[in-house]
Protein backbone atom coordinates (compact mmCIF):
# COMPACT_ATOMS: atom_id res chain seq x y z
CA UNK A 1 0.00 0.00 0.00
CA UNK A 2 2.85 2.40 0.82
CA UNK A 3 4.39 1.69 -2.57
CA UNK A 4 1.07 2.45 -4.29
CA UNK A 5 0.74 5.71 -2.36
CA UNK A 6 4.24 6.71 -3.42
CA UNK A 7 3.34 5.88 -7.02
CA UNK A 8 0.26 8.11 -6.83
CA UNK A 9 2.40 10.93 -5.45
CA UNK A 10 4.84 10.45 -8.32
CA UNK A 11 2.07 10.51 -10.90
CA UNK A 12 0.62 13.67 -9.32
CA UNK A 13 4.00 15.35 -9.56
CA UNK A 14 4.39 14.26 -13.19
CA UNK A 15 0.92 15.61 -14.04
CA UNK A 16 1.84 18.92 -12.44
CA UNK A 17 4.79 19.17 -14.78
CA UNK A 18 3.04 17.71 -17.87
CA UNK A 19 -0.73 18.00 -17.29
CA UNK A 20 -1.59 16.90 -20.84
CA UNK A 21 0.17 13.53 -20.58
CA UNK A 22 -2.69 11.03 -20.94
CA UNK A 23 -0.64 7.91 -20.18
CA UNK A 24 0.40 9.30 -16.79
CA UNK A 25 -3.27 9.92 -15.96
CA UNK A 26 -4.11 6.40 -17.15
CA UNK A 27 -1.37 4.74 -15.07
CA UNK A 28 -2.44 6.78 -12.05
CA UNK A 29 -5.99 5.49 -12.50
CA UNK A 30 -4.75 1.88 -12.80
CA UNK A 31 -2.90 2.29 -9.51
CA UNK A 32 -6.05 3.63 -7.84
CA UNK A 33 -7.97 0.62 -9.20
CA UNK A 34 -5.41 -1.76 -7.65
CA UNK A 35 -5.89 0.11 -4.36
CA UNK A 36 -9.64 -0.73 -4.59
CA UNK A 37 -10.51 2.96 -4.97
CA UNK A 38 -13.01 2.24 -7.74
CA UNK A 39 -14.67 5.67 -7.87
CA UNK A 40 -11.35 7.53 -7.98
CA UNK A 41 -10.06 5.10 -10.62
CA UNK A 42 -13.10 5.71 -12.86
CA UNK A 43 -12.58 9.46 -12.52
CA UNK A 44 -8.93 8.93 -13.44
CA UNK A 45 -9.76 6.91 -16.55
CA UNK A 46 -12.18 9.65 -17.61
CA UNK A 47 -9.41 12.22 -17.06
CA UNK A 48 -7.09 10.20 -19.30
CA UNK A 49 -9.78 9.99 -21.98
CA UNK A 50 -10.39 13.73 -21.81
CA UNK A 51 -6.72 14.11 -22.77
CA UNK A 52 -6.70 11.31 -25.36
CA UNK A 53 -10.19 10.11 -26.44
CA UNK A 54 -8.54 7.53 -28.70
CA UNK A 55 -6.86 5.60 -25.87
CA UNK A 56 -8.52 2.20 -26.30
CA UNK A 57 -7.02 0.72 -23.14
CA UNK A 58 -8.55 3.52 -21.02
CA UNK A 59 -11.99 2.82 -22.53
CA UNK A 60 -11.51 -0.88 -21.76
CA UNK A 61 -10.39 -0.23 -18.18
CA UNK A 62 -13.30 2.14 -17.63
CA UNK A 63 -15.69 -0.44 -19.10
CA UNK A 64 -14.36 -3.13 -16.79
CA UNK A 65 -14.74 -0.80 -13.81
CA UNK A 66 -18.39 -0.16 -14.73
CA UNK A 67 -18.96 -3.90 -15.23
CA UNK A 68 -17.59 -4.69 -11.76
CA UNK A 69 -20.01 -2.14 -10.33
CA UNK A 70 -22.92 -3.81 -12.15
CA UNK A 71 -23.44 -0.98 -14.65
CA UNK A 72 -23.68 -3.11 -17.79
CA UNK A 73 -24.99 -0.34 -20.04
CA UNK A 74 -22.04 2.00 -19.43
CA UNK A 75 -19.59 -0.90 -19.57
CA UNK A 76 -20.96 -1.92 -22.98
CA UNK A 77 -20.63 1.66 -24.24
CA UNK A 78 -16.95 1.83 -23.24
CA UNK A 79 -16.16 -1.59 -24.72
CA UNK A 80 -17.84 -0.56 -27.99
CA UNK A 81 -15.73 2.60 -28.09
CA UNK A 82 -12.58 0.55 -27.51
CA UNK A 83 -13.52 -1.93 -30.26
CA UNK A 84 -14.24 0.93 -32.66
CA UNK A 85 -10.80 2.43 -31.97
CA UNK A 86 -9.01 -0.91 -32.17
CA UNK A 87 -10.71 -1.69 -35.46
CA UNK A 88 -8.36 0.84 -37.07
CA UNK A 89 -5.32 -0.47 -35.17
CA UNK A 90 -2.93 -3.30 -36.06
CA UNK A 91 -2.92 -4.44 -32.40
CA UNK A 92 -4.89 -7.70 -32.76
CA UNK A 93 -4.20 -8.82 -29.17
CA UNK A 94 -5.94 -5.79 -27.69
CA UNK A 95 -8.89 -6.15 -30.04
CA UNK A 96 -9.35 -9.82 -29.15
CA UNK A 97 -9.17 -9.03 -25.42
CA UNK A 98 -11.73 -6.22 -25.59
CA UNK A 99 -14.19 -8.30 -27.61
CA UNK A 100 -13.77 -11.17 -25.15
CA UNK A 101 -14.43 -8.93 -22.13
CA UNK A 102 -17.47 -7.42 -23.78
CA UNK A 103 -18.82 -10.86 -24.73
CA UNK A 104 -18.52 -11.98 -21.10
CA UNK A 105 -20.54 -8.92 -20.11
CA UNK A 106 -23.29 -9.79 -22.61
CA UNK A 107 -23.60 -13.55 -21.98
CA UNK A 108 -26.57 -13.36 -19.60
CA UNK A 109 -28.48 -10.52 -21.30
CA UNK A 110 -27.58 -10.70 -25.01
CA UNK A 111 -26.18 -14.18 -25.69
CA UNK A 112 -26.44 -13.88 -29.47
CA UNK A 113 -24.39 -10.67 -29.37
CA UNK A 114 -21.79 -12.47 -27.23
CA UNK A 115 -21.69 -15.32 -29.75
CA UNK A 116 -21.14 -12.85 -32.59
CA UNK A 117 -18.23 -11.19 -30.75
CA UNK A 118 -16.50 -14.51 -30.02
CA UNK A 119 -17.05 -15.65 -33.61
CA UNK A 120 -15.40 -12.44 -34.82
CA UNK A 121 -12.43 -13.24 -32.59
CA UNK A 122 -12.22 -16.73 -34.06
CA UNK A 123 -12.24 -15.33 -37.58
CA UNK A 124 -9.15 -13.32 -36.61
CA UNK A 125 -7.57 -16.19 -34.69
CA UNK A 126 -9.21 -19.63 -35.08
CA UNK A 127 -7.33 -21.10 -32.12
CA UNK A 128 -8.07 -18.35 -29.59
CA UNK A 129 -8.75 -20.45 -26.46
CA UNK A 130 -10.64 -17.81 -24.37
CA UNK A 131 -13.03 -17.23 -27.28
CA UNK A 132 -13.53 -20.96 -27.85
CA UNK A 133 -14.24 -21.47 -24.13
CA UNK A 134 -16.65 -18.55 -23.95
CA UNK A 135 -18.46 -19.61 -27.09
CA UNK A 136 -18.78 -23.20 -25.91
CA UNK A 137 -20.23 -22.04 -22.58
CA UNK A 138 -22.79 -19.64 -24.06
CA UNK A 139 -23.90 -22.27 -26.59
CA UNK A 140 -24.37 -24.68 -23.69
CA UNK A 141 -26.32 -22.12 -21.64
CA UNK A 142 -28.65 -21.38 -24.54
CA UNK A 143 -29.42 -25.05 -25.13
CA UNK A 144 -27.46 -25.46 -28.37
CA UNK A 145 -25.85 -28.63 -27.09
CA UNK A 146 -24.63 -30.12 -30.37
CA UNK A 147 -22.85 -26.87 -31.22
CA UNK A 148 -21.48 -26.63 -27.66
CA UNK A 149 -20.12 -30.19 -27.87
CA UNK A 150 -18.38 -29.36 -31.15
CA UNK A 151 -16.93 -26.17 -29.65
CA UNK A 152 -15.61 -27.93 -26.53
CA UNK A 153 -13.93 -30.52 -28.77
CA UNK A 154 -12.38 -27.72 -30.78
CA UNK A 155 -11.17 -26.07 -27.56
CA UNK A 156 -9.58 -29.33 -26.41
CA UNK A 157 -7.69 -29.62 -29.69
CA UNK A 158 -6.10 -26.27 -28.82
CA UNK A 159 -5.71 -26.92 -25.07
CA UNK A 160 -5.75 -30.69 -24.49
CA UNK A 161 -4.81 -30.25 -20.84
CA UNK A 162 -7.90 -28.16 -20.00
CA UNK A 163 -9.63 -30.51 -17.52
CA UNK A 164 -12.50 -28.09 -16.91
CA UNK A 165 -13.40 -28.24 -20.59
CA UNK A 166 -13.29 -32.06 -20.49
CA UNK A 167 -15.67 -32.04 -17.53
CA UNK A 168 -18.07 -29.64 -19.31
CA UNK A 169 -17.94 -31.76 -22.48
CA UNK A 170 -18.54 -34.98 -20.53
CA UNK A 171 -21.58 -33.46 -18.78
CA UNK A 172 -23.08 -32.48 -22.12
CA UNK A 173 -22.44 -35.92 -23.60
CA UNK A 174 -24.05 -37.55 -20.57
CA UNK A 175 -27.05 -35.23 -20.84
CA UNK A 176 -27.43 -36.32 -24.48
CA UNK A 177 -27.23 -39.99 -23.48
CA UNK A 178 -23.87 -40.49 -25.21
CA UNK A 179 -22.31 -42.53 -22.41
CA UNK A 180 -19.48 -44.27 -24.33
CA UNK A 181 -18.38 -40.92 -25.80
CA UNK A 182 -18.46 -39.37 -22.32
CA UNK A 183 -16.35 -42.23 -20.96
CA UNK A 184 -13.73 -41.68 -23.68
CA UNK A 185 -13.46 -38.02 -22.69
CA UNK A 186 -13.28 -38.90 -18.99
CA UNK A 187 -10.56 -41.54 -19.48
CA UNK A 188 -8.22 -38.73 -20.45
CA UNK A 189 -9.49 -36.53 -17.61
CA UNK A 190 -8.77 -39.31 -15.10
CA UNK A 191 -5.19 -39.49 -16.31
CA UNK A 192 -4.80 -35.72 -16.24
CA UNK A 193 -6.49 -35.15 -12.86
CA UNK A 194 -6.60 -38.43 -10.89
CA UNK A 195 -7.54 -36.67 -7.64
CA UNK A 196 -10.56 -34.87 -9.08
CA UNK A 197 -13.73 -36.17 -7.40
CA UNK A 198 -16.02 -34.64 -10.05
CA UNK A 199 -14.18 -36.52 -12.79
CA UNK A 200 -14.65 -39.80 -10.92
CA UNK A 201 -18.33 -39.16 -10.22
CA UNK A 202 -18.99 -38.41 -13.88
CA UNK A 203 -17.00 -41.52 -14.78
CA UNK A 204 -19.41 -43.54 -12.65
CA UNK A 205 -22.34 -42.00 -14.53
CA UNK A 206 -20.71 -42.80 -17.88
CA UNK A 207 -20.12 -46.43 -16.81
CA UNK A 208 -23.80 -47.10 -16.07
CA UNK A 209 -23.74 -50.19 -18.30
CA UNK A 210 -21.02 -51.70 -16.09
CA UNK A 211 -22.37 -51.49 -12.50
CA UNK A 212 -19.20 -52.85 -10.89
CA UNK A 213 -16.88 -50.32 -12.55
CA UNK A 214 -19.43 -47.55 -11.93
CA UNK A 215 -19.49 -48.39 -8.21
CA UNK A 216 -15.68 -48.37 -8.11
CA UNK A 217 -15.66 -44.91 -9.67
CA UNK A 218 -18.22 -43.62 -7.16
CA UNK A 219 -16.22 -45.07 -4.25
CA UNK A 220 -13.10 -43.33 -5.57
CA UNK A 221 -15.02 -40.05 -5.75
CA UNK A 222 -16.21 -40.55 -2.16
CA UNK A 223 -12.65 -41.07 -1.02
CA UNK A 224 -11.55 -37.85 -2.70
CA UNK A 225 -14.32 -35.45 -1.69
CA UNK A 226 -15.31 -33.84 1.59
CA UNK A 227 -18.07 -31.75 0.00
CA UNK A 228 -21.34 -32.66 1.75
CA UNK A 229 -23.72 -32.38 -1.20
CA UNK A 230 -21.49 -34.43 -3.45
CA UNK A 231 -21.07 -37.13 -0.81
CA UNK A 232 -24.85 -37.35 -0.37
CA UNK A 233 -25.31 -37.60 -4.14
CA UNK A 234 -22.67 -40.32 -4.41
CA UNK A 235 -24.23 -42.37 -1.60
CA UNK A 236 -27.58 -42.16 -3.39
CA UNK A 237 -26.03 -43.33 -6.65
CA UNK A 238 -24.32 -46.24 -4.90
CA UNK A 239 -27.60 -47.25 -3.23
CA UNK A 240 -29.29 -47.28 -6.62
CA UNK A 241 -26.53 -49.55 -7.95
CA UNK A 242 -26.96 -51.91 -4.96
CA UNK A 243 -30.74 -52.02 -5.31
CA UNK A 244 -30.38 -52.64 -9.03
CA UNK A 245 -28.40 -55.82 -8.54
pLDDT at 150: 97
For residue 89, pLDDT beyond 70 = no
CB 207 within 8 A of CB 214: yes
Selection from 209, 165, 159, 215 nearest residue 185 by Cα: 165
76 or 147, greater pLDDT: 147
pLDDT band at residue 2 under the 50/70/90 scheme: low
For residue 88, pLDDT beyond 70 = no
pLDDT digits (tens, 9 = 90+) for 35-63: 888 888 889 899 989 999 988 888 888 88
- The structure's pTM equals 0.71
For residue 204, pLDDT beyond 90 = yes
Residue 242 burial (CB count, 10 A): 10
CB 208 within 8 A of CB 179: yes
Q: What domains, with CATH codes, occur in the chain?
A: 13-77 (1.25.40.10)
For residue 19, pLDDT beyond 70 = no
Query: CA-based Rg of the chain, rounded to a whole angstrom?
Result: 24
pLDDT at 234: 95
Q: What average pLDDT is seen over the chain?
A: 87
Amino acid sequence: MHRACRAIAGYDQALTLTPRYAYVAYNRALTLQRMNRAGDARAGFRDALSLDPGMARAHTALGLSYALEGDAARAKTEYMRAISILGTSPNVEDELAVRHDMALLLVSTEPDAAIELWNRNLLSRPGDAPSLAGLARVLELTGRHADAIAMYRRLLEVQPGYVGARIALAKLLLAEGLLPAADEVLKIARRQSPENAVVWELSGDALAADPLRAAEAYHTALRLTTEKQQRTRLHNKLNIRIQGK
